[in-house]
Amino acid sequence: MFTVAPARTLAPATHRSPRNGVSIALFGLGHVGSAVAGLALEPPRAARWPFRITGALVRDVHRPRPTGNAVARTSAGDSLLDPAPDVIVEALGGLEPARTLVLKAIERRIPVVTANKSLLAVHGDEVFAAAAATGTPLRYEAAVLAGVPFLGTFARRRIAASFPSFCGVVNGTTNFILTEMAASRSYSEALADAQRRGFAEPDPSNDVLGIDAAQKLAILIRHFAQCSVRADAIEATGIAGLWARDLHHAAAFGGAIKPVVAAAWDGVEVTAFAGPAFVPSSHALARIDGVQNAILLRGAPGGDLLFAGPGAGPLPTAATILDDVVEAIEDVETRTMDGGIPDVRAARPEAPVTGWFIRLTGAALAAGPDISGLLGAHGVRLRRASEEEVHDGRTAQWLTAYPCERRRLETALCALGAATGCDAFCVRELT
């Protein structure tokens, strides 16, 4: 149990007039930083002021860049803070030196725009507190659903943004892999294809283990529920345990397996989880395929709201970042984006009652044990069941169960395992 603290009143910040153009110090000149530089140097007509890049922090100052020599490079981050630019854009990734440099900029009241979900998920309390204490704008629209500008919109529109829960697909890499597996490709084939196309890192652990999704979920909970939740306190499940046949049977049962995040809150408690879930085909997220991302805000006064689009990619991310730069300069009022630190520290992992998608494996399945009876004796009622089949030398059967508490399901599956020797793999149903 925990309480939600009211947002603090911010001290007014004094920002420079952008009459002579907006000067931007760029921390990072990789995929995102280069795209920001490219867009800033040749901005769309809609841009209100010209932009000027004062320099970029990189590890390797000699490596050729897509922007050629149009952007001066340095490996000394501090040098970009003096003289102070109008805004810093942090596109380094990781925790350090991003944290130190962002805090230094905030200390000097230089507005910060960041796309760094790890920084905000791990050091969010410290960074937001510093921004709130100094009244320094801190924008992070590109940290979640990078190409879909929705966080700022809802930070400014408080009536439409009063809703008690959301769910979403926030990791394009795993959504691509599961979409490919639904077309009968194996997990390793789909992952290799994602890596070939640049959708997955050479080390895909953060994506496939659910770490990236949990970090984005922590940011969304802070933003919408005004609660500070540690990303590593959120139950996150990866996708590596799924088989292509799971996706096939999910489709036969009238749904899809998607890598989802979900959270609900009531002003006292937050429940949250990140991981693969069975999504019925009537659900809006069932149609979000490939690298697309989406977020469904539920229970808003006007009804549910769905936002969908590219979750990553240098150009969509850069466009979002430059809009953040303009808003930071204009000092557009926001709620969560500039601070107002709530004080919740933990989230319950899941809603207590949900439906389930289950895969059983074990030689005993061939003998047709009374699975419905064995599970029913523990209060778990089956909705659908497939015929058993042999897959990679293992006999398997797929089931869906009506909503029940997780503890009840675990007890029932333990009893089933003891009676038949079957192993179970389960994912929640998203309602």
Ligand X SMILES: NC(=O)c1ccc[n+]([C@@H]2O[C@H](COP(=O)([O-])OP(=O)(O)OC[C@H]3O[C@@H](n4cnc5c(N)ncnc54)[C@H](OP(=O)(O)O)[C@@H]3O)[C@@H](O)[C@H]2O)c1
CB of 327 to ligand X, least distance (A): 17
State yes or no: residue 228 binds ligand X (CB under 6 A). no
State yes or no: residue 171 binds ligand X (CB under 6 A). no
Taking the C-alpha atoms of residue 48 and residue 156, their distance in angstroms, rounded to an integer, is: 20
State yes or no: residue 309 binds ligand X (CB under 6 A). no
CB of 33 to ligand X, least distance (A): 5
Interface segment toward ligand X; rule CB under 6 A; list 11-19, 51-59, 121-129, 398-406: 51-59
Query: What number of other Cβ atoms are within 10 A of residue 185's Cβ?
Result: 17
Q: Which of 60, 266, 330, 389 binds ligand X (CB under 6 A)?
A: 60
Measure the CA angle with vertex 406, ends 400 and 410; round to 5°: 80
Q: Which of 194, 196, 201, 202 is nearest to 178 (CA)?
A: 194
State yes or no: residue 55 binds ligand X (CB under 6 A). no
Distant-in-sequence, close-in-space partners of 280: CB < 8 Å, separation ≥ 6: 254, 255, 286, 429, 430, 431
- Given a contact cutoff of 8 angstroms between Cβ atoms, the answer to whether 10 and 132 are in contact is yes
Q: Which of 8, 59, 381, 384 binds ligand X (CB under 6 A)?
A: 59
State yes or no: residue 115 binds ligand X (CB under 6 A). yes
216 flagged as catalytic: yes
Helix (H, G, I), strand (E, B) or coil at 219: helix
User: Which residue matches tokens 């809006």?
Assistant: 284
- Given a contact cutoff of 8 angstroms between Cβ atoms, the answer to whether 234 and 344 are in contact is no
State yes or no: residue 175 binds ligand X (CB under 6 A). no
CB of 422 to ligand X, least distance (A): 41
Distant-in-sequence, close-in-space partners of 424: CB < 8 Å, separation ≥ 6: 358, 359, 360, 413, 416, 417
Interface segment toward ligand X; rule CB under 6 A; list 30-38, 80-88, 152-160, 197-205: 30-38
Per-residue binder mask for ligand X (CB under 6 A), 74-113, x = binder:
-x---------------xxx---x----------------
State yes or no: residue 314 binds ligand X (CB under 6 A). yes
Interface segment toward ligand X; rule CB under 6 A; list 26-34, 38-46, 188-196, 283-291: 26-34
Q: Which of 15, 18, 23, 31 binds ligand X (CB under 6 A)?
A: 31
Q: Which of 18, 22, 23, 33 binds ligand X (CB under 6 A)?
A: 33
Where are the extended beta strands (E) located within 305-392? 305-310, 353-361, 382-385, 389-391
Write the single-letter amino acid at 421.
G
State yes or no: residue 117 binds ligand X (CB under 6 A). yes
Longest dimension (CA), the chain: 79
Q: Which of 167, 312, 319, 413 binds ligand X (CB under 6 A)?
A: 312
The backbone torsions φ and ψ at residue 103, rounded to the nearest 5 degrees and listed phi first, read -65, -40
- Given a contact cutoff of 8 angstroms between Cβ atoms, the answer to whether 262 and 268 are in contact is no
Binding site for ligand X (CB under 6 A): 28-33, 57-60, 63, 75, 91-93, 97, 115-117, 142, 146, 312-314, 317
Residues that are catalytic: 216
